[in-house]
Structure formats: C-alpha cells, structure tokens
Amino acid sequence: MKKTSAFTLIELLVVVAIIAILAALLFPNITAMMQRGRAIECANNLRTVGSDMRHYLNEHSGTFVSLTDPTPWPESLQTYTKEWKHFRSPFDRQSAARPKNFDTPPLPISYGLNEKLFDTISAKWNVSESNLILAAPALDLGSSGGEVKFQASAFSDQNVKIVAPGGNGTPQDRGLGTHLNRQKINVLFCDGRVEELAWEKYADSTTPAGKSHWEPN
C-alpha cells in the first residue's frame, strides 16, 4: 500500500508563524512606499496647479484672482487645469463630507492659497529664490492625528485660503497642524519648486525665514 505524506500540525504552525513574521517585517516597508507614492502624486498636483496659476497671470495682465472675486480661484484655474483631480490630494480621503467627485462642481479641494497672494501682480511671484508659499493643503486644525483631515468646507466654489499662524482668519484657514503619522507637508513656492517641509517649518511665522514663507515682498 502506497504511503501518503502530509504536514503535521506542528509543521503547519511553523509555516504559519514564518509567514506571519515575514508579513510583519514587510508591512512597514509597504506602508512607507505607499505614503511616499502619495507624497509624489501630491507634489505633482501642486506643480500642475502652480503652472496653471502662471498661465492665468499671463492671460490676465499679470494680476491674480481677487479674494472677493465671485469666481473662486479653483474655478478660475479649471480652464487651464482641465482635470479636477489635480486639486485633490491623495492624502485627502473620501468621506460623506468629501466624496470622490471629479465631474460636477462644487468639488472637494485639498489645497489652499496663501491669502497674501490674492489681488497681487506677477512681480510678487517672481522674486528670485522666493520662499513665498503659493499653495498648500487646506488642513483642518481639528485633527488630532491618525489621518490627515482636510477642511470639510474646502470646495471649489469657495476661495479656499490659508493664512500664517497668528494672522487674521478663522482657525481652519491657518497653515498649522499636527499629525502623528505624516510629519511633513508638500508646499509649492512661487518660483515653481515643491518642497516637503516639516510641520514646524511650514507653520513658522515668527522667524525671518518663516515670515518670508507667508509675506510677499
């Protein structure tokens, strides 16, 4: 009679334990790679929005959207951007308040514009080695960690803005926040570069270098 071979219970448990250990070792790396991929996509979105802002300036006598303009800046730029997905950060998760919607305005917007850049002329945007913040995620200060929480009120039919900490504006307008898992934020500067800044550097408005982020000169 031919003998059949089979795993013993102990052997099966050993295999399961090895798989569990390997999964535990690989999971943090996979999570980190996914976070990095989202950060790259977010940076590309900001570059696209920044390029569209340049086109807008070129076609409007070098003057940018007014804060009181009946057409908010996201909708003003939509003519150049074509695809609304560039206004939505991959860190901006879907929710009932912020549904996935790329077709019918008003649409959730992840990025806010530095309030100091409304109503400005192109000369303000062309300072060599400029550190002026052009656009950054419109974050909700109510988030205490876990996931980045975007403003439930940040939609394309509003002039979504950010102001420096300590400046005028409601708390949800301010470029300040803390996040347990993601300690950095993508920031687009007026000279077209995108940098990943730590929260404290992004939100700094007290040092000369920090002030230059928020104050056109």
Q: What is the pLDDT of residues 180-215, one digit of tens each?
A: 445 678 889 888 888 888 777 777 778 888 887 887
* Banded model confidence at residue 54, pLDDT cuts 50, 70, 90: confident
* pTM (two decimals): 0.78
Enter the tokens of residue 171: 């708390």
Give me the pLDDT at residue 2, please.
Answer: 56
Q: How many residues does the chain have?
A: 217
Instruction: Examine residue 127 and state whether it is found in any structural domain, yes or no.
Output: yes
In a domain, 83, yes or no: yes
Instruction: Show the tokens assigned to 41.
Output: 């996509």
Give DSSP secondary structure letters for 168-191. Answer: SS-GGGBS----SS--EEEEEETT
Residues 136-188: tens digit of each pLDDT: 777 776 555 545 678 888 899 989 888 877 665 555 555 544 444 456 788 89
Number of domains into which the chain is organized: 1
Residue 111 near residue 161, CB atoms below 8 Å: no
Query: Model confidence over 66-105: pLDDT tens digits?
Result: 988 899 999 998 888 778 889 998 888 888 888 887 677 7
Q: Is residue 1 part of a domain?
A: no
- Token digits of residue 107: 């649409």
What is the extent of the structural domain holding 117? 10-214
Give domain status of residue 4, yes or no.
no
- Are 145 and 179 in contact by the 8 Å Cβ rule? The answer is yes
Beta strands 111-114 and 133-137 are antiparallel
Q: Is residue 133 part of a domain?
A: yes
110 within a domain of the structure (yes/no): yes
Listed residue (99, 93, 101, 97) closest to 146, CA to CA:
93
What element of type H or E holds 35? helix 9-59
Domain contains 182: yes
Please report whether residue 2 resides in a domain.
no
Q: Measuring CA to CA, which residue among 90, 140, 88, 93 is closest to residue 110?
A: 88
Measure the CA–CA gap between 106 and 121, rounded to whole angstroms.
27
